[in-house]
A and B are shown apart, each in its own frame.
Chain A
Amino acid sequence: MALTLYEKIFNRHVVKGLEDSYLIYIDRHLIHEVTSPQAFDGIRLNKRKIWRTDSIVAVPDHNVPTLDRERGIQDPISKIQVDTLDSNCVEFGLNQFKMNDTRQGIVHVIGPEQGLTLPGMTIVCGDSHTSTHGAFGALAMGIGTSEVEHVLATQCLIVKKLKTMQINVNGQAPKFISAKDIALAIIGHIGTAGGTGYAIEFAGDAIKDLSMEGRMTLCNMAIEAGARAGMVAVDDKTINYLKDRPYVPQGELWEMAIKDWKQLVSDKDAVFDQVINLDAGLIEPQVTWGTSPEMVTSISGFIPDPNLQSGSKKKSYLQALKYMNLEPNLPISDIPVDRVFIGSCTNSRIEDLRSAAEIVKSKKVAKSIKQAMVVPGSGLVKMQAEKEGLDQIFINAGFEWRQPGCSMCLAMNADRLESGEHCASTSNRNFEGRQGQGGRTHLVSPEMAAAAAIYGKFVDIRKL
């Protein structure tokens, strides 16, 4: 029988069929400081053991400061959380990249970077953006803390089989159209709940053309379309990216592995529960205007008029425009921009920084911009960028060059918007208060964010 990629991976992990769900085996468990302490408490309280400590890798990322980290964490409550991760890792004998380790970074950046993410794996993490790892032909899902505890204790997860959706992005993406624009265009098309209950496989020429970094950006945003898992089939790019990374199998095992990985594609005749086709050639640079990632349009667009909508959509649009303090029919290019954030598990990899630097090169941040910051996704991304001189390009232009972490994507550390400020952000969520209470987020690609910093507003990067 012809199988989809999702079904192939799912089937090889079924330990047991349960009444109306399955017990599936988990290969990789990534852990960070925010969603794990209560899970470790549960293990202790019930006197349970961790099933397979070598499947686990931990890293602090949400709370860590991005400035003067060497001085330690100043916020006492954040410090307790990071210290708790440290002590849990010591107590249970877990591998951790600690805050001042060069390999530290955002959990979804370091997984692939270290080769901890491999094709065919089931990967979980107490973080919804775990979908990122699906870019490697893996089944990667975000889970809650109870499930973190469940995986710690049993190496398994109780799941229902997801429905399958294939999103074909056909043709060639025009110049300056990045994976972020493709992701936002897809979400604009199917809506923020369009993928609920599905595993999405991204396919088509425009997806094949994407680098691994681009595919990670795309799969990262699958959850913003409601899908717990996003994935892309394995090809030579996948294998070339992984070769010789620290945790990737070597020698004979590598040869065995790549033979297996090459089968991790959907069969030609595989049937998906839903198929969606998009033309890459029609995608323009995207900018969100509201408080949900589906509230998105292109740089040549306008703020929509809620009165042209009905029912709950109209209500949502009215609430969003009130919060964003934007008027219907305003051109996107007239939205004020106060701050610029380049970073997050969506767009903080080396390729993102290169393309943003390309726009910034020999220019200056506009005077009207209060702050423009670049937060690399990991210590290794930061090092690579510095080797290439990207840090100097940003610093010379007036950007702040920070230390790696989640930073202003969710503003759990000191990096945040002030109430009322508009931010051009390469992150993944424009929810109310996400980047700081009262803050107003506009999701864009790294190139669009960089250009917004230079021109003080959203501009069409295709016309620069």
Chain B
Amino acid sequence: MEKYKRHSGVVIPLDRANVDTDAIIPKQFLKSIKKTGFGKNLFDEWRYRDHGEPDQDESTRQINHEFVLNQPQYKGGTILLARENFGCGSSREHAPWAILDYGIRTIIAPSFADIFYSNCFKNGILPITLSEELTQNFFEKSLNIAKFSLEIDLQHQKVIDGETSYHFDIDDFKKYCLLEGLDDIGLTLKNENDIQLFESQYKKNYPWLIRE
């Protein structure tokens, strides 16, 4: 996993509440057995006017020019700005894979759905929860100021807008894993003895749950 320390980029304003993971990456693309290649189908049903299928030649697709990702001023943006309850619905990790594959490393929203939120961290994406007021402020700026950009400093937990910076909260462990680009399976396996010890006691307490 790529380390996340500081990140700056153009803000892409996605002005919808309750964006679900079906919208982030529609089901037909979940048939892939890989983790990469989903970026071209990120928000597929909003981004294109025709129906997409895996392995389709993207140059033949009908672009929906109204959709934010297709507007020239947001091309190359790497910070997604969203409304409340972003990432609700299905637990598909293909959603953060598609976001990352597109080139987005940061998502800012007033709230996230639980499973999606935790999936982001496993893939080096930083989801930042900010107040409704502040996100609204960023929405207005990104709609009115060309190439409106933000800078994120994960170490100091700050979103920096020019001269002003705003604090955000994050779990220490999640922050540590992102900063170091760590795979948490390796970290958990350092507790191998604890898990084995737990398991042997657990077998005695609940013998019907683990059978020899």
Name A residues whose Cβ lies closer than 8 Å to a Cβ of B.
Answer: 12, 15-16, 18-21, 23, 25, 27, 34-35, 37-38, 41-42, 46, 48, 51-52, 54-55, 62-63, 75, 77-78, 80-81, 84, 118, 120-121, 126-128, 142-147, 149-150, 153-156, 158, 160, 192-193, 196-197, 226, 228, 249, 253-254, 256-257, 260, 292, 312-313, 315-316, 319, 410-412, 429, 431-434, 437
**Minimal Cβ-Cβ distance residue in A for B86:** A193
Within B181-212, the residues touching A (CB, 8 Å) are 183-186, 188-189, 191, 194-195, 198-199, 202, 205-211
What 8 A-B pairs have minimum CB-CB distances, sorted nearest first? A146-B122, A249-B208, A37-B33, A144-B119, A144-B93, A193-B85, A145-B93, A128-B91
How would you classify the secondary structure of chain B's contact residues: helix, strand, loop or mixed?
loop
**Are the CB atoms of A35 and B191 closer together than 8 Å?**
no
Across the interface, A432 reaches (CB within 8 A) one of B23, B83, B115, namely B23
**Minimal Cβ-Cβ distance residue in A for B23:** A432
Within B62-95, the residues touching A (CB, 8 Å) are 83-85, 88-93
**Minimal Cβ-Cβ distance residue in A for B122:** A146
A333 to B113, CA, bound (A): 33
**Minimal Cβ-Cβ distance residue in A for B194:** A16
Count of interface residues, chain B, beta-carbon cutoff 8 Å? 60
Across the interface, B15 reaches (CB within 8 A) one of A12, A41, A315, namely A315
Within B144-190, the residues touching A (CB, 8 Å) are 171-173, 183-186, 188-189
Q: Can you report 11 residue pairs joining A to B where beta carbons are below 8 Å apart?
A: A84-B33, A146-B123, A153-B189, A158-B173, A158-B184, A193-B113, A196-B113, A228-B115, A292-B18, A412-B27, A433-B23
**Are the CB atoms of B17 and A315 closer together than 8 Å?**
yes
Q: Which residues of B contact A158 (CB under 8 A)?
A: 173, 184, 188
**Are the CB atoms of A431 and B113 closer together than 8 Å?**
no
Q: Which residues of A contact B188 (CB under 8 A)?
A: 23, 150, 153-154, 156, 158
Give chain B nearest CB distance to A312 CB in angstroms.
5
**Are the CB atoms of A260 and B206 closer together than 8 Å?**
yes
A437 to B186, CA, bound (A): 40
**Are the CB atoms of B33 and A38 closer together than 8 Å?**
yes
A144 to B34, CA, bound (A): 14
Q: Which residues of A contact B173 (CB under 8 A)?
A: 18-21, 158
**Are the CB atoms of A147 and B209 closer together than 8 Å?**
no
**Are the CB atoms of B31 and A192 closer together than 8 Å?**
no
**Are the CB atoms of B111 and A193 closer together than 8 Å?**
yes
Given contacts A38-B35, A48-B185, A437-B26, contact A256 B171 (CB under 8 A): no
Across the interface, A35 reaches (CB within 8 A) one of B55, B93, B205, namely B93
Give chain A nearest CB distance to B184 CB in angstroms.
6
Q: Which residues of B contact A126 (CB under 8 A)?
A: 91, 93
Interface centre among B15, B111, B186, B195 (most CB of A within 10 A): B195
Q: Which residues of B contact A437 (CB under 8 A)?
A: 26, 45, 51
Given contacts A25-B195, A34-B30, A144-B91, contact A433 B184 (CB under 8 A): no
